[in-house]
A and B are shown apart, each in its own frame.
Chain A
């Protein structure tokens, strides 16, 4: 069964086969996957600007530039547009870099693993500062921590500048803090609520409004260095703890008391949440849904959950549990690819050079899933209904057709079908590809085939 398992390893758990991948995995598909559960399999670091560099630029150069425009009387709208474009460049470059990794990496599972957590801790480019820094959370927090203890990943993600800004923690302050007593502002619960609802316990995780408020108080003090805070310019754009914003006192979260002044209080609370059984349960189900089935089986969830609890949330052990779950190698393809999965696996299958960053971004947008622009902090949906709308299928067809056109008459779709689907290739698809009247048409049918659309 290793031919079948190889196709599953590469296509279900990886980013899709490039020609040769299934053959390489066939020697031992399970070892091929297990070998990727190591930090060395994760690509990085990103070549783009860091969150701190981006934010520092916005704090210093950008206002200076604007002031200059006002002095010279240039058309402010035109210049403003130019500057906005300029600020979006790093995001395009980052997306192109990240796509390039996905299209060429031999470690498809490791990259999928990073992307799962990046979507779990979703931040989006919904404002100008976020456009600059949204991609940096994945690069700076997720990639380095993706195979460590979940508690480390949780801390890194929640206390990253992109998260602190995206979910308004940067502007939250304790009502009884030093700053709160002078300012007419106070707590912002946004990050605290999403940590509980989306990042750890889950919406049915057994917490109440009191816990949300307690966590919001516990988190106060954590912010992002800025001119407004009169931070040291060296700290502009850095996640930092400012005791002047911290709500004093002892706060009770899920029956546990968190006291003391200083940055460690929030960290302790995050560690506490990271190790709750509810968190293990919620994330095990989410992992099973992402990798195995829209409605995962209880025994698959239980398998992952047991590994989570047994290892204290060691993410390498959890990843191994995902690929050893009871239905991990079932032949039935139960997951419909997201547009991003489809785009990347298509580029891998075709072996075409990646399009330039703008074309690539336009491709993601046309397919309905531009990176770092999920519609809510919940991230992108992970079930077929969200992605298989009629128009979305037609958009995929247009994409496949355009990509096949680029691949051209040299595409050799019959050989390619076997190379990228392996034992998963059905007779119906093999026949449709073989009967196509042009190589481009054959390649289009391969990319649109029911088994290529799923994993």
Chain B
């Protein structure tokens, strides 16, 4: 609770390399996990609902241009079929090309309403009950030999909550409110004659001050908060943690800021900035995990997709089918898996049809990467999912 406007910048400038564990006993606890055999699993949760159609754009679809309007991409990075990767996803596209990443489109949980909180709960719990997370249940299934797990952030993500031990790690100094929260607050203050102008003036001043102190790209609009630059630093820190002697084998990272209702942007703009941040985080993980890369898998998931058509504010609203990625040296990549429903028929005439179930992806990773028994997965980790078969052959 110190002066965040300066400490946040220090965090961004100095990186997290020197930041220690928040819980001093954590490293010792992780040392107790022989079974993991160093098979690293990272789950990156993109909170706010990534627009999958922007990240992996079906530019070759007949109706693409008409449906996406100003959000339609021109150009992009190579991907199979009608798809291109968003130009900001350079690292991801590169790993895809080298066979170290795969993608699933039109994928969703079995949740069909459109609340972020409930959607994220379902993503992490994988059941309507929200007592614990599927990753924790998987660890519990492995018993005392389960690998150590860490949530990157101040609070334990639902994915890791439950009976199996897990830790949390956070940078010593947390960044203050992010740009997205600030812009939502500006909306909330729109009719407040005192707070609205006060916040607006403060942001102007803060932008000027940060431009003066850092003299770089940190200045100007968007200078405040945990922007894309912070993503890479957090990923780098998570990578350090995963490769530290006695470090955990599983990590959960959360990146906020994907709720692009307004001015989403196409090649450039706020979503492109977030995607660049995600890409930088992937690059940082690739680098930090290089020693264990052939035993690493990184899941990138989000709670749901967004509307196919843009809304009246140049953004997209909450949808259903989204995109997910599995990245790593352990991944049999270079391809897209699952079904592609196309854009001719939309879910409720607005969303990408949810043709694939995220649990198929989760089950496959847990079975093939961590060697969990499929029967146990169906019974204890993903209850009532007998009708949802795992994908096959995702891990080398």
**Which residues of A pack against B, CB within 8 Å?**
336, 355, 359, 362-363, 366, 384, 388-394, 397-402, 405-410, 412-414, 428-429, 432, 434-442, 444-445, 448-450, 453
Contacts and interface: CB of A to CB of B under 8 A. Distances in A.
Contact of A407 (B155, B184, B191): B155
B4 A442 contact: no
Interface string B336-369: 0000000000000000000000000000000000
A405 B1 CA distance: 11
Given A413-B117, A437-B49, A438-B117, 9 more contacts: A363-B1, A397-B185, A432-B187, A435-B116, A435-B261, A436-B116, A441-B180, A449-B188, A450-B195
A391 B188 contact: no
B199 A394 contact: yes
Nearest to B201: A390
A432 B258 CA distance: 16
B48 A362 contact: no
Contacts of B48: 437-438
B279 interface: no
A405 B155 contact: yes
B182 interface: yes
Contacts of B4: 398, 402
Contact of A408 (B117, B156, B187): B156
Interface residues of B, number: 48
Interface string B186-207: 0111011011001111110110
B319 interface: no
A414 B115 CA distance: 11
Given A405-B174, A414-B117, A438 B256 contact: yes
Interface in B143-190: 153-158, 174, 176-178, 180-182, 184-185, 187-189
Contact of B185 (A405, A407, A414, A448): A448
Given A432-B184, A437-B49, A445-B184, A359 B202 contact: no
Q: Taking each of B181, B182, B199, which has the highest tally of chain A beta carbons within 10 Å of its own beta carbon?
A: B181
A428 B188 contact: yes
Contacts of B47: 437-438
B188 A445 contact: yes
Contact of A336 (B153, B191, B194): B194
Contacts of B273: none
Contacts of B177: 397-398, 400-401, 444
B2 interface: yes
Contact of A402 (B153, B176, B184): B176
A364 to B, nearest CB: 9
Contacts of A399: 1
Contacts of B259: 435-437
In the complex, the 7 A-B pairs of residues with the closest C-beta atoms, listed nearest first: A408-B155, A437-B48, A390-B202, A437-B259, A401-B177, A398-B176, A363-B1
A132 B98 CA distance: 67
Given A408-B155, A409-B158, A438-B48, A402 B1 contact: yes
A444 B178 CA distance: 11
A47 to B, nearest CB: 24
A351 to B, nearest CB: 14
A434 B259 CA distance: 13
7 contacts: A388-B195, A390-B199, A399-B1, A428-B188, A437-B49, A438-B117, A445-B184
A398 B1 CA distance: 8
Contact of B199 (A393, A400, A436): A393
B180 A402 contact: no
A409 to B, nearest CB: 5
Contact of A391 (B180, B187, B205, B258): B205
B154 A405 contact: yes
A439 B120 CA distance: 10
Contacts of A437: 47-49, 116, 180, 256-259
A363 B3 CA distance: 9
A412 to B, nearest CB: 8
A332 to B, nearest CB: 13
A392 B191 CA distance: 19
B155 A448 contact: no
Contacts of A359: 1
B5 interface: yes
A346 to B, nearest CB: 11
From A363, A429, A445, name the one whose CB has the most chain B CB atoms within 10 angstroms: A445
A366 B192 contact: no
Contacts of A388: 194-195, 198
A390 B116 CA distance: 31
A160 B376 CA distance: 71
Nearest to B204: A390
A401 B8 CA distance: 13
Given A400-B177, A405-B174, A436-B116, A393 B195 contact: yes
Nearest to A397: B177
Contact of A393 (B156, B174, B202): B202
A449 B188 CA distance: 7
Contacts of A405: 153-155, 174
A450 B1 contact: no
B389 to A, nearest CB: 30
A396 to B, nearest CB: 10
B197 to A, nearest CB: 8
The listed residue with most B CB atoms (<10 A of its CB), out of A336, A390, A405, is: A390
A401 B181 contact: yes
Contacts of B200: 390
B204 to A, nearest CB: 8
Nearest to B254: A438
A355 to B, nearest CB: 7
A268 B174 CA distance: 56
B64 to A, nearest CB: 26
A427 B173 CA distance: 34
A409 B258 CA distance: 16
A384 B254 CA distance: 37
A439 B352 CA distance: 25
* Residue of A407, A414, A436 with highest tally of chain B CB at under 10 A: A436
Contacts of B206: 394
Contacts of B205: 390-391
Interface in B369-387: none
Contacts of A438: 47-48, 116-117, 120, 254, 256
Contacts of B192: 450
A432 B116 CA distance: 12
A408 B198 contact: no
A436 B116 CA distance: 7
A406 B188 contact: no
A448 B1 contact: no
A316 B117 CA distance: 46
Nearest to B175: A401
A428 B156 CA distance: 30
Contacts of A406: 154-155
A428 B254 CA distance: 27
B2 A366 contact: yes
A434 B180 contact: no
B54 to A, nearest CB: 16
Nearest to A409: B155
A436 B194 contact: no
Contact of A398 (B5, B120, B156, B189): B5
Contacts of B156: 408-409
B1 A436 contact: no
